[in-house]
Amino acid sequence: MGSQQAAAATNPDLDPGSSLGGKPAPDFKLTNQFGQPISLSAFHGKVVILAFTDSECTTICPLTTQAMVAAKQLLGQAGNQVQLLGIDANPDAISRSDVMAYSRSHGMVNQWDFLTGTLPQLQATWKDYSVYVQIEKGQVDHTPALFIIDTQGREQKVYLTTMAYASIGQAAQVMAEEAASLLPSHPQLASIHSLAHISGLTPKSPAQLPLLPSGSVTLGPGKAHLVMFFATWLAETSDLRAHLLNLSQYAQAAKTGGLPNLVAVDEEVTEPSVAAVRSYLGGLGRPLGYSVALDQSGRLADGYGVQDQPWFVLTSPSGKIIWKHDGWLSASQLIASVRHASG
């Protein structure tokens, strides 16, 4: 355990947690995605994993969400003694439909209580937990905080999620170990992995990814690539189907105009399941004109510097990132941008 703690302490993509000394966790009375009143005190006797989550987040919150679920799963049957809670941290999206939409798109409807309330109620709760929430230049900025509260309602640890896809499983393990230490049975985790830093796969390194529905693709040096990172839960906040279908226009232009081929890469590590990805793509109604690959470990996203979804990266034949873009573009805008960046 000593070596694991040392590895976690030196891992820049993993927060090993900060002690809160067992002070009483502030109670709250909010409403979950089903419209039911929920208070923290109702969960005395359980370990609570509490995250502050933007209900429309496409950046760091999906990583937090997946880590929470994975932490509970690592506890096996003892996970029944752990309650997952989220509190909305988006001042502009606080309706019950907002927290339900996030829960549904991330496969969380029946796995947690995602809480909201009036803006004054939420602001009071953010303040009680020292969580910064602000809208800056149209974007929600909030402390990516996750608290572990013991069976007596006392704050034990706080974790700050890092923008690192490959460390989701490590964050889950750290949280699961803390939760296990607080449960009377002190359960063993279903699996234990190294907490040492997981390096990303940069464009200078060959990376072979599985394709949907079958096959594989190799990215990296040798030729230029246009890679579009996305996740199917983007359908919650955008017309994902239309965007994916429109990108076929770029794929056609690439074939006739000498532009780099487009490969879409789904961030499987933030998806509810591979089956959910297959189902979504199978329901588009017509085939895409480009390949869709799976980033099963998150290492490609980390190596390519992905900070949001969708995220476009254009790489040179030498494996250098020569252009990147956060957010959707029309096919004509994408074609023009890639042509300009390719020189």
For residue 136, the model assigns a pLDDT of 86
At which of 182, 216, 250 does a domain end? 182
- Predicted TM-score (pTM) of the model is 0.95
Same domain, 222 and 175: no
Predicted local distance difference test score (pLDDT) of residue 139: 86
Is there a domain that residue 232 lies in? yes
One domain, residues 128 and 69: yes
Residue 244 within a domain: yes
- Asked if omega into 310 is within 30° of 0 (cis), the reply is yes
Is residue 193 one of the residues assigned to a domain?
no
CATH number where 87 lies? 3.40.30.10
Q: Helix 168-182 to helix 61-74 angle, to the nearest 10 degrees?
A: 50
**Helix, strand, coil percentages for the chain (3-state, nearest 5):** 35, 25, 40
pLDDT tens-digit profile of 201-215? 999 999 999 999 999
- For 160, the enclosing helix (H) or strand (E) is strand 154-160
**Same domain membership, residue 70 and residue 124:** yes
What is the residue range of 296's domain? 207-342
pLDDT digits (tens, 9 = 90+) for 36-84: 999 999 999 999 999 999 999 999 999 999 999 999 999 999 999 999 9
Reply yes or no on whether the pLDDT at 1 is more than 80. no
Question: What's the domain count of the chain?
Answer: 2
Taking only the tens place, the pLDDT of each residue in 79-108 is 999 999 999 999 999 999 999 999 999 999
Please check whether residues 247 and 326 belong to one and the same domain: yes
What pLDDT sits at residue 343? Answer: 81
Among 201, 259, 265, smallest CA distance to 227 is for 265
Q: What is the DSSP letter of 166?
A: G
Residue 231 scores a pLDDT above 60: yes
Identify whether residues 337 and 298 lie together within a single domain: yes
299, pLDDT greater than 90:
yes
Looking at the structure, tell me whether residues 247 and 166 fall in a common domain: no
- The tokens for 324 are 């990147």
287 and 244 assigned to the same domain: yes
Residues whose CB falls within 8 Å of the CB of residue 54, separated by 6 or more in sequence, listed in order:
61, 88, 89, 90, 93, 140, 142
Does residue 17 have a pLDDT over 60?
yes
**Do 81 and 223 reside in the same domain of the chain?**
no
Amino acid occupying residue 20? L
Burial of 292 (0-12, 13-18, 19+ CB in 10 A): buried
